[in-house]
């Protein structure tokens, strides 16, 4: 059943529920997934420029989870039936206005926190065009040198799932050098 058909049934965005091995076990409205902290799928995207700077941002105060926290990646939940790569392209377009770009898969990790549980696939893009925030999602952002990011994340409140995924990314980065 497509997400559009599921929306018709539930009247809202529908997410796939997954188990500890990332196998689909059902579907539920996004509101229920949030309220009951159900395990689902998500994506994160690191946005680099050609100078090796990472785009970092602050979430708006109206976000339902971790308002006003900072993050090194954009992302979100997969809609029912959506592929990870499709969701990653959608999220980077919606949140940063990043258009026609190549997206590269980096890793998959399980995050289990008190407010969010999800299997997250991390991707990266390189983008030198303009950044256009989604105003409902982001209230501040800037390009930051990688070395500065490493100290900055110890100075500001970082979204917990973003922090874990970034730490997993750092392990991957360090293992391939």
Residue ranges making up the domain that contains 162: 41-175
Domain assignment of residue 34, yes or no: no
When pLDDT is cut at 50, 70 and 90, the band that residue 11 belongs to is low
Give the containing element (helix H, strand E) for 117: strand 117-126
Q: Is residue 111 part of a domain?
A: yes
Whether 59 maps to a domain, the answer reads yes
145 Cβ contact partners less than 8 Å away, ≥ 6 residues apart: 52, 53
Written as six digits, the tokens of 146 are 């990688």
CB neighbours (10 Å) of residue 114?
A: 7
CATH code for position 83: 3.90.79.10
CB 75 within 8 A of CB 96: no
Task: Tell whether 5 is covered by a domain.
Answer: no
Q: Specify the higher pLDDT residue, 3 or 59.
A: 59
For 121-166, the pLDDT digits (tens) are: 999 999 999 999 999 999 999 999 999 999 999 999 999 999 999 9
Total of domains in the chain: 1
Looking at residue 15, the DSSP 8-state letter turns out to be: E
Give the position of tokens 């030198």.
128
Asked whether residue 109 is assigned to any structural domain, the reply reads: yes
Residue 9 has pLDDT above 70, yes or no: no
State how beta strands 74-77 and 40-48 pair. antiparallel
- pLDDT bracket for residue 64 (50, 70, 90): confident
> DSSP label at 165?
H
Which residues are CB-neighbours of 15 under 8 A, at least 6 positions away? Answer: 27, 28, 29, 30, 33, 40, 41, 77, 78, 79, 80
Q: Is residue 139 part of a domain?
A: yes
Q: What is the pTM of this model?
A: 0.92
CA 61 to centroid of chain Cα atoms: 17
- Domain assignment of residue 22, yes or no: no
């Amino acid at each position: 059943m497509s997400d559009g058909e599921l929306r018709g049934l539930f009247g809202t965005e529908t997410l796939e529920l997954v188990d500890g091995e990332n196998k689909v076990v059902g579907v539920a409205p996004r509101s229920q997934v949030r309220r009951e902290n159900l395990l689902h799928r998500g994506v994160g995207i690191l946005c680099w420029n050609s100078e090796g700077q990472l785009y970092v941002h602050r979430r708006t105060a109206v976000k339902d989870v971790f308002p006003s926290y900072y993050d090194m990646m954009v992302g979100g939940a997969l809609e029912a039936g959506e592929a990870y790569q499709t969701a990653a392209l959608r999220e980077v377009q919606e949140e940063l206005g990043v258009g026609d770009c190549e997206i590269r898969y980096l890793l998959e990790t399980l995050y289990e926190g008190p407010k969010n549980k999800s299997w997250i696939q991390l991707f990266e893009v390189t983008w030198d065009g303009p950044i256009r925030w989604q105003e409902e999602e982001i209230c501040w952002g800037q390009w930051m040198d990688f070395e500065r990011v490493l100290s900055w994340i110890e100075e500001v409140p970082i979204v917990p799932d973003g922090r874990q995924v970034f730490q997993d990314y750092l392990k991957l980065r360090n293992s391939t050098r």
